[in-house]
Amino acid sequence: MIYCLEGKILKKTLDTAVISCGGVGYLVQLPASVAGQLPGPGAQATLYTYMNITENDISLFGFSSEEQRSCFEMLIGVSGVGPKAGLAILSVLTPDKVALAISAGDHKAFTAANGVGPKLAQRITLELKDKVGKGLAVGQGFGPAASGAPAPGTAQAVAALVSLGYTQSEAAGAVSRIDDTLPVEEIIKIALRQMSRR
């Protein structure tokens, strides 16, 4: 498997990039959100990749972080979710938003992705709810367990709310409606205010 590509961007479109590594140009399919963040041709870039091998095709999919790649791998593990649907979901949702939507049972969030209908969205939330819920509760998210990286603020907020006695779904649902760039303490305060109004 090709773990990552680091090299010069030769060409870039709305959902692909060609990266030159050691004299070889690799065509990589990307979520629209990643393609939009990449610099233009001639610049250096690093993409974490997932190689998909089928009977008729070998494709590379690229992501801006290991967490995003892990999220993609989890999504395509759901029956009926192929690589194109996985890319479409990550084009409209960050890994944190994916985790919160699954944990809160918010299948409608996935229907914003091109090609994901209500039935497939419900299957995603049902099949991944336990897996994602456990990761959020321990503040792990989609990143590698051994990385030691600090957990995102949203995961820490969900874990704190769960420790206060709220269910995983209640906590994730409240946190998913709050700006994830705020400090953890602020996210928790706003979530508690929202939940006390119900």
- Cα dihedral sign for 34, 35, 40, 42? positive
What structural domains does the chain harbor?
4-63 (2.40.50.140), 66-197 (1.10.150.20)
Residue 15 has which token pair?
A: 């959902």
pLDDT of residue 83: 94
Strand pairing of 4-12 and 24-29?
A: unpaired
Give how far the C-alpha of residue 40 lies from the chain's centroid of Cα atoms, to the nearest Å.
Answer: 24
What number of CA atoms fall less than 13 Å from residue 85's CA on the CB side? Answer: 18
Provide block-wise average pLDDT over 10 residues at a time, the chain (198 residues): 92 94 94 92 94 90 93 92 94 89 86 92 89 58 41 72 78 78 84 80
pLDDT of residue 138: 46
pLDDT of residue 151: 42
Query: What span, in angstroms and rounded, lies between the C-alpha atoms of 92 and 40?
Result: 21
pLDDT of residue 18: 96
pTM more than 0.75: no
Among 132, 183, 129, 195, CA closest to 157: 183
